[in-house]
Chains A and B, each alone.
Chain A
Amino acid sequence: MLPDTPGKPTPVTGATLDERIANAKKQLDAHFVETVRWHFNPETGTPFWLEKAKTFDFNPLTDVKSFDDIKRFPIFEDEWLRGGPVRKWVPKAYANRGVYVFETGGTTGLPKSRIVIDDFKIDYEMMSDTLPDQYFPRGSNWLMLGPSGPRRLRLAIEHLAQYRGGICFSLDLDPRWVVKCIKDRKIAEANAYKEHCIDQALTILAGGHEIKCMFTTPKLLAALDEALRNGKLEDKYRSLGKAIPSGGLRSIKATGITGIFSGGTEFTPQFTREAYEEMLDNGEVYMTPTYGNTLMGLACSKPIGPEDGFKITYYAPQPRAVAQVVNPKNYDEIVPYGGTGRVLLTTLTKEFFVPRFPERDEGEREPPYEKYPWDGVSGVRPFSEIAGSTVVGVY
């Protein structure tokens, strides 16, 4: 087990939900003010924001009193993240730290780049605290069946496994290639690549590494399930001269995997239900959907299941990130509970400040609940005004 990375926020306390909601708001207000002062302080601040502040009609160091003041900041444009120099995003206080750069997009043109020092570790350690040990046993090994390359997920899952005392196996998977194939309508090539990825996963599973936990995307989960049902892991065992365990290896449960952390692309209740009922032996293998991206971090979901129609509700890792559901015509207006709006993300860490970034998604605003006493978002799906104009979230 690894020790906690410094910077994890204190859990919100309170005897009642109302008290917890109030405390969470206080925590967010304080954290917001502290983060803004950090990024706009000439000693510690971020070169990009120090330059941008010259165009503001307010002083971030003195005029920001609570999270409501987020509206004073301009809507974050993701174009700002395309192209360098990437150092403009590194806070002066961290100039001598080792810096990672994670990318998103980039099938054509410049990808968006985000610098990271420890944020991914903190985010995934917070996420780890939500995982039930029964299904994600401490010390067990992981399979990272997801994108490799310059992505946050690749390192983050490895850190999650290590944080929980395990070792993570991963594969080569380039989603940009798959997006190119799909854009060029090379469906057979895209399918062949998917099979290549699944074959790598099967090789790892056949290797006797006692893997019990897995990260994967919805599409790759379905592809792995299909391969297992078609006896591909049994074939792999045979090709390696290994005996097939009694009971076979034709389901995810049969491989020994007990917990799945899934995300990376759109997660629908329909898919969740299918996974629960038809791939994961009616929930015997635990799956938790997540919503996140390179810019924000990781939003966890309320536990899913048949009792609430497999509804998926995400809660951002406040106070380090905030997800608001807003009127797409007026980002200052938060929609009522149950109302539909565009997801507006804010990232508030000492490494990275992203105020009010309009995500490519829409959803319904959800009320706070015990575990996450702040607003959530359900029914996340591609924003209807841009859906269909782009190939998103292949793997």
Chain B
Amino acid sequence: MIRIPALRFGKPYTSLDKATLIHHATGEPVAEVSQVTGSQIARDVGTCARARKDLAAIPIKDILAIYKKAADYFLNGTLPCGDAELTFADYVRNLSATTGSPMVFCDRNARKVHYVLANIEEVIGGLTRGLDVEALDRGYTLKNGRMQAFYPTTDVFGAVLPSNSPGVHSLWVPTLAFKIPLLLKPGREEPWTPYRVIQAFLMAGMPAHVMAFLPADHAGASDILRLCGRSMAFGDDRTMAPYKNDHRVEIHGTGYSKIILGEDEADNWEKHIDLFVEAIAANGGRACVNASAIWTPRHGDKIAKAIAERFAKMKPRAWDDPACEISGFAKPEVAEAINKLIDESLKTPGAVDVTDAVRGTPRLVKEGRVAYLLPTVVRCETPEHPLANKEFLFPYASVIECPQADVLKRIGYTLAASVITNDAGFIAEAMACPTIERLNIGALPTNRLTWDQPHEGNLFTHLYKQRALQLADGHTAHV
């Protein structure tokens, strides 16, 4: 068993209370993770003003070089993990073991983290919309004779991370490049990625006191969100409700992402089936950018059936099978609860689980300690049905018929929408739709992201504010 300490801005800390992580399939203990309390977090956050100054003093070109080296260590190095040393393959295996996410997904998501580390300049360019990186050294830049000046909004950025979606780690990775110290609270079952990224940074020369790895309970997570000047958090609507109006917290919650077919493309639905399946089911269907609904003016029954036929071919496979398409639930009770909720909701008239008839076997599958929910498509007669606008931790989507004229008024909050149409008028309406965060026009799946455009929030504008700045002749400034 691997013993993983907390890292309190440079100081490893082994606590008396520890969380034991077990292998989702075998039940064997895999790791023991030290925990910190809210008051320890408060004490550590108090050290960050100095850490930020120290980080600010490192030239950005040096920090970017550290990122490049860290990328290499992350992917190719053997890095400390508590009292063990792990290769990338070991890390992926452990990540899969404790989260239940298949190794093939873990590997793919870990490579996204590597991509951000290796291509940090591109990512920063996207987040800052092409700002000269030297602005991070000086606090301002003169572009085409125009002054652009910024100041940091916080001395530390806190990230309260999930256990079920390793791809999200790419979102916080640029923080140190923005010269803001980083406090990571890993998800209970996923200490692996945050710890490995920190180790890669350390090996590449990043000062230890600008990074913290602080496993904690829910109360500790609340303390992070309370104490950090800026933070991000992942959670469902209920968990995140207290922070809905807190501008300091960037919420990554339920996405309710959708595919919307225009009148002009509805009859061409068959050629988009691959796209539908990818948008709903890619990466295990757990991401907020996975589609959870398809809205179409017509052919709803046919679309649902065609997706169901594809879904019916997806079978549970062992976590280390490279052909794995769906994730297991490390906590079978979660799968059971979701399954029950869907079955209960289907009792409300107006919805049919189309996959049920096509597959002919139950949605919930239990194999040993692991439970699986097989991909599911539900045909809903109206957008008001309880299953029409739901998002679950497995490939799930509803199919709803709705006239094009009404659809944008009725979809509600939508993190990522793919509007498949060539109708200029409908495109213009979609461009103006205030409930869509990320908009894809044309045949693009909702889950296909570009690194130069953040899909949810923008780390740079979260960590920095623009200010007016004038420098008298002969004066310069730096941060």
Contacts and interface: CB of A to CB of B under 8 A. Distances in A.
B302 interface: no
Contact of B242 (A187, A225, A229, A230): A187
Nearest to B245: A188
A274 B40 contact: yes
A4 B120 CA distance: 72
Contact of A229 (B37, B46, B241): B46
B39 A270 contact: no
A188 to B, nearest CB: 7
Interface string B10-50: 00000111000000000000000001011110110010000
B242 A222 contact: no
Nearest to B44: A278
Given A191-B226, A309-B16, A274 B39 contact: yes
Contacts of A223: 39
Interface in A205-257: 222-223, 225-226, 229-230
Contact of A310 (B16, B35, B241): B16
Given A273-B16, A278-B43, A185 B241 contact: yes
B37 A274 contact: yes
A278 B40 CA distance: 8
Contacts of B226: 187, 191
Instruction: Summarize A's interface: helix, strand, loop or mixed.
Output: helix
Contacts of A271: 37
B222 interface: yes
Contact of B39 (A188, A225, A310): A225
Contacts of A229: 42-43, 46
A328 interface: no
A310 B222 CA distance: 26
Contacts of A305: none
Size bracket of the B interface: 10 to 19
Contacts, number: 42
B37 A185 contact: no
Instruction: Summarize B's interface: helix, strand, loop or mixed.
Output: helix
Contacts of B15: 270
Given A187-B222, A268-B17, A270-B17, A226 B42 contact: yes
A274 B16 CA distance: 10
Contacts of B16: 268-270, 273, 309-310
Contacts of A222: 37-39, 42
Contacts of A278: 39-40, 43
Interface in A254-282: 268-271, 273-274, 278-279
B239 to A, nearest CB: 9
Contacts of A310: 16
A226 B39 contact: yes
Contacts of A268: 16-17
B9 to A, nearest CB: 14
Contacts of B43: 225-226, 229, 278
A274 B242 CA distance: 29
A271 B39 CA distance: 9
A18 B57 CA distance: 67
Nearest to A229: B46
Contacts of B46: 229-230
B122 to A, nearest CB: 38
A54 B351 CA distance: 62
Contacts of A191: 226
A280 to B, nearest CB: 12
A40 B35 CA distance: 51
- With most chain A CB atoms within 10 A of its CB, the pick from B42, B226, B241 is B42
A292 B240 CA distance: 36
Nearest to B242: A187
B45 to A, nearest CB: 9
Interface string A158-196: 000000000000000000000000000111100100000
14 contacts: A185-B242, A188-B242, A222-B37, A222-B38, A222-B39, A225-B39, A225-B43, A226-B43, A269-B17, A273-B16, A274-B40, A278-B39, A309-B16, A310-B16
Interface of A: 185-188, 191, 222-223, 225-226, 229-230, 268-271, 273-274, 278-279, 309-310
Given A186-B242, A225-B43, 17 more contacts: A187-B222, A187-B242, A222-B37, A222-B42, A225-B39, A226-B39, A226-B42, A226-B43, A230-B46, A269-B17, A270-B15, A270-B17, A270-B35, A273-B16, A274-B40, A278-B43, A309-B16
